[in-house]
């Protein structure tokens, strides 16, 4: 594995995520079985989110963005979260991911430092992968409509993008997968 470029490693990780997900989709139900049932995968993505946040924070000259980025408010009230249907949770997470992907892309256009740009690129790829994967399955009939209005906030600090992504993966995504696992991962 030595000598592999960081860009190649990111692309291979992304390909692994998509392949893993697609190989474990149950025919007819389109459920992300392995991603949901193998808790090590979500823990891996949480670890990667923490690493990206840490590496971005270590970059020299972290400046504020000249144009604020709109970020989702990803805090979770567990009582309210538990009362929502899986489809409602999925749609909420999709809205959050769309805002994060847009924010990462917008911030990339504003930063000049390679260190920060590299971390933003990785975050963009990871968030976009989750976005694409969650769009592939649904419990309700009918197409998914991207018109959503999640709670959001404007931020000018690049680090807020990484913090929001980590909180989303650690919170809503992890809870969502844990909830799905109760039904999908019953071992007979």
d(CA 110, CA 118): 13
* Domain boundaries defined on the chain: 6-184
pLDDT digits (tens, 9 = 90+) for 84-97: 988 889 889 999 99
d(CA 125, CA 129): 6
Of 13-17, 18-22, 88-92, 183-187, minimum mean pLDDT range: 18-22
pLDDT digits (tens, 9 = 90+) for 102-127: 999 999 988 888 888 899 999 999 99
Selecting from 2.30.38.10, 1.10.3720.10, 1.20.1260.10, 1.20.1250.10, what CATH number does the domain 6-184 have? 1.20.1250.10
For the entire predicted model, the pTM comes to 0.78
Mean pLDDT of the chain: 79
CA 40 vs CA 31, 34, 36, 126, 174: distances in Å: 17, 10, 10, 16, 11
Alpha-carbon torsion, ordered 176, 179, 183, 187, to 10 deg: 110
The residue length of the chain stands at 188
Q: According to the model, what pLDDT value does residue 4 have?
A: 60
pLDDT digits (tens, 9 = 90+) for 131-188: 888 887 665 544 445 556 668 889 989 999 999 999 999 999 999 888 888 877 765 4
């Amino acid at each position: 594995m030595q000598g592999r470029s960081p860009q190649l490693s990111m692309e291979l990780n992304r390909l692994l995520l998509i392949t893993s997900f697609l190989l474990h989709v149950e025919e007819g139900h389109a459920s992300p079985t392995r991603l949901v049932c193998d808790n090590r995968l979500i823990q891996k993505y949480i670890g990667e989110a923490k690493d990206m946040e840490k590496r971005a924070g270590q970059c020299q000259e972290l400046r504020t963005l000249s144009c604020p980025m709109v970020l989702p408010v990803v805090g979770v009230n567990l009582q309210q979260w538990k009362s929502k249907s899986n489809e409602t949770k999925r749609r909420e997470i999709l809205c959050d991911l769309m805002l994060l992907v847009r924010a990462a892309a917008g911030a990339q256009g504003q930063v000049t430092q390679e260190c920060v740009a590299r971390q933003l690129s990785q975050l963009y790829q990871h968030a976009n992968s989750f976005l694409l994967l969650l769009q592939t399955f649904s419990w309700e009939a009918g197409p998914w409509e991207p018109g959503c209005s999640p709670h959001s906030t404007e931020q000018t600090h690049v680090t807020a993008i990484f913090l929001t992504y980590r909180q989303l993966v650690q919170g809503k995504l992890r809870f969502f997968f844990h909830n799905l696992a109760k039904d999908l991962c019953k071992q007979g």
